[in-house]
Chains A and B, each alone.
Chain A
Amino acid sequence: MHIEQAHKTIFRRPESLAETVTHYCPGCTHGIIHRLVAESLDELGLRERAVGVAPVGCSVLIYNYFNCDFLEAPHGRAPALATGFKRIRPDMIVFTYQGDGDLASIGMGEIVHAANRGEKITVVFVNNAIYGMTGGQMAPTTLAGQITSTCPHGRDTSVTGYPVRMSELLATLVTPGYIERVSVHSPMHIIRAKKAVRRAFEYQTSGTCFSLVEVLSTCPTNWGLTPTEATKWLEKNMFSYYPLGCFKQPDSAGVR
């Protein structure tokens, strides 16, 4: 073997990720999802014209972990900020990174209308079925029967309704072009998730459509499980209610 080949770098920190230690809990998948976004920005050469919009919630400090410009939005309003920015700077790449409390609860209005207007933005929607940062309260995505600090006897759907399936809901709209649900609880699923995230940015880069990737994610701390148990819990409990797959994509004729 040649020396040159032996020293070839085959895996490194994406340039779009800052060299910073994150505050995320052990076993939390935000780190993986951050990496998928960063790799996509790197591969498509978008870092220098990207602006991210941070949510409120566990990933509120995301701007410390990325090596691109960022705005910090009020609770749930990231799609509105992204809209204001992108309308004025259509040449820039604008993405929001939002959790389920942020996007599906307080920000339900903003995401539905941004999607319906077909804003040429990319939304990374992280669904872990619980409010993480505030300490494990019920989210709109909390599963029926799931125990949280504000539904200590399990989510009672006769009182709180059923968990909201955001991808399916948004896919009923005519305008949004690309909506896919993925998971990052296993290496195989991470590879698939990466493809979806990259595709979402490609649709924005080509000016094709609004794109959203829903990522099923773990919250070992607030689920009260070890990281390994959490990945198993996700597969066992979330897949049946939140099926993976592409709900919407621009067809070959570009008609949505």
Chain B
Amino acid sequence: MARILMKGNEAIAEAAIRAGATNYFCYPITPQTEVAEYLARRMPEVGGVFLQAESEIAVGNMLFGAASTGRRVFTSSSSPGISLMQEAISYIAGAQLPCVMLNIMRGGPGLGGILPAQSDYFQATKGGGHGDYRVLCLAPSSIQEAVDLTMSAFRLAEKYRNPVMIVGDGMIGQMMEPVEFPDTFDAGDPTANEAWAATGARGRKPRIIKSLFLDPLKLEENSLTLHRKYEQMKAEEVRFERYKINPKNELLIVSYGTMARICQTAIDELEREGVSVGLFRPISLFPYPEKELREEVDAKNIESILVIEMSCGQMVEDVERVVQGVKPVRFFGRTGGIVPSPEEAKEQIKNLLKKSARAKVGRTTGSVSKRARKG
């Protein structure tokens, strides 16, 4: 199929349809409203369901009801809207239903702003709602990748009967890039969902889709079942990219999404200046590519790790968890809707490399501050 120039939000919306998710519930919020506008036109063309709800609280719960039918369901929102959906996300995870949610993140906390940010990392990867549950979380860094991951997300949601969240940011949602949709996409057999969906108790015992288990042993059993799924995700769904990682690197950058893309530009420019730096880009934020990152961290040539995020430092805590203090982890972040330029990233990298060179000269004193925060 030909490449089409599309806005991120619209490309993701089209990807959802092509993955068979013809049931969409929404509430408008910047910077992702084009998803809703696009699907308001497109859903009737494919005989799908489009419904604008009265709030994101209702959207989350419509998704809950809709997912109970066994059909593919989708919603999109941005940070404050996703916060309102947390109630339903916890219930959907507890009831083991598949659904896909898109979070085009904007600056927070509170009403925050409408410009790109990555400050929902904790919420997306550590829970957000109440209870022992996780959401499979994927972070694209280009519109093509957003399309590909969105389509895969529906298969993953059904494989695990669990919510899957695509986290982009205002930049991914608003920019335009050429994208290609696969000519054929096997979205899996939706009739397989008839094994657990509420389809009417015709010739079978009634089915109850719920997250209530008053018997603590039953509740623990449910939580352990969920836990086993998350362990399986850790074994089977880790995604990441290595960019220009080589034995000459002294510094390893860890960054994801839009910020990683900017880091790549900085790395390319530094390469032309004769400076070699590599990037490790987690694509799945949960499950986090722990083993793979640790391998890169353990490389002898790597002296320190620089985490760059569009937040005050959230993913850096996962990196620190992986590194376990064996090497210094430094952090650079801008937030509030500010997208650092490649120049800004380059400056950070160069400064760190200079410091590292100085440290090598007078290594006897050796104390390195764990994080150099700026911005």
Contact = CB atoms under 8 A, between A and B. Distances in A.
B49 A69 contact: no
Contact of A66 (B61, B199, B206, B209): B206
Interface in A80-108: 80-89, 92
Most chain A beta carbons < 10 A, residue from B25, B55, B88, B201: B201
Contacts of B203: 48
Contact of A53 (B57, B65, B88, B91): B65
Contacts of A230: none
A47 interface: yes
B61 A88 contact: no
B51 A83 contact: yes
Contacts of B25: 84
A63 B207 CA distance: 9
Contacts of A63: 206, 208, 210
B200 A48 contact: yes
Interface stretch (B12-20, B67-75, B311-319, B352-360): B67-75
B68 A68 contact: no
B54 interface: yes
Interface residues of B, number: 39
Contacts of B95: 72
A110 B87 CA distance: 14
A100 B87 CA distance: 20
A189 interface: no
A74 B87 contact: yes
Interface in A47-88: 47-51, 53-54, 60-61, 63, 66-74, 77, 80-88
Given A49-B200, A71-B209, A72-B209, A88 B69 contact: yes
Nearest to B197: A69
B136 to A, nearest CB: 21
Nearest to A54: B210
A60 B212 contact: yes
B25 to A, nearest CB: 6
B66 A85 contact: yes
Nearest to A51: B198
Given A81-B61, A84-B25, A109-B57, A67 B51 contact: no
Most chain A beta carbons < 10 A, residue from B51, B61, B212: B61
Contacts of A89: 69
Contacts of B53: 80, 83, 113
B48 to A, nearest CB: 9
A106 to B, nearest CB: 10
B123 interface: no
Contact of A69 (B55, B57, B63, B207): B207
Nearest to A94: B65
B245 interface: no
Nearest to A50: B200
Given A18-B206, A69-B198, A85-B68, 18 more contacts: A48-B201, A48-B203, A49-B200, A49-B202, A63-B208, A67-B206, A69-B200, A71-B65, A71-B208, A74-B88, A81-B68, A83-B58, A84-B66, A85-B69, A85-B198, A86-B65, A87-B66, A89-B69
Interface of B: 23, 25, 49, 51, 53-55, 57-69, 71, 73, 87-88, 91, 95, 198-203, 206-212
9 contacts: A66-B206, A69-B207, A71-B210, A80-B58, A80-B62, A81-B61, A81-B62, A88-B23, A110-B57
Interface of A: 18, 47-51, 53-54, 60-61, 63, 66-74, 77, 80-89, 92, 109-110, 113
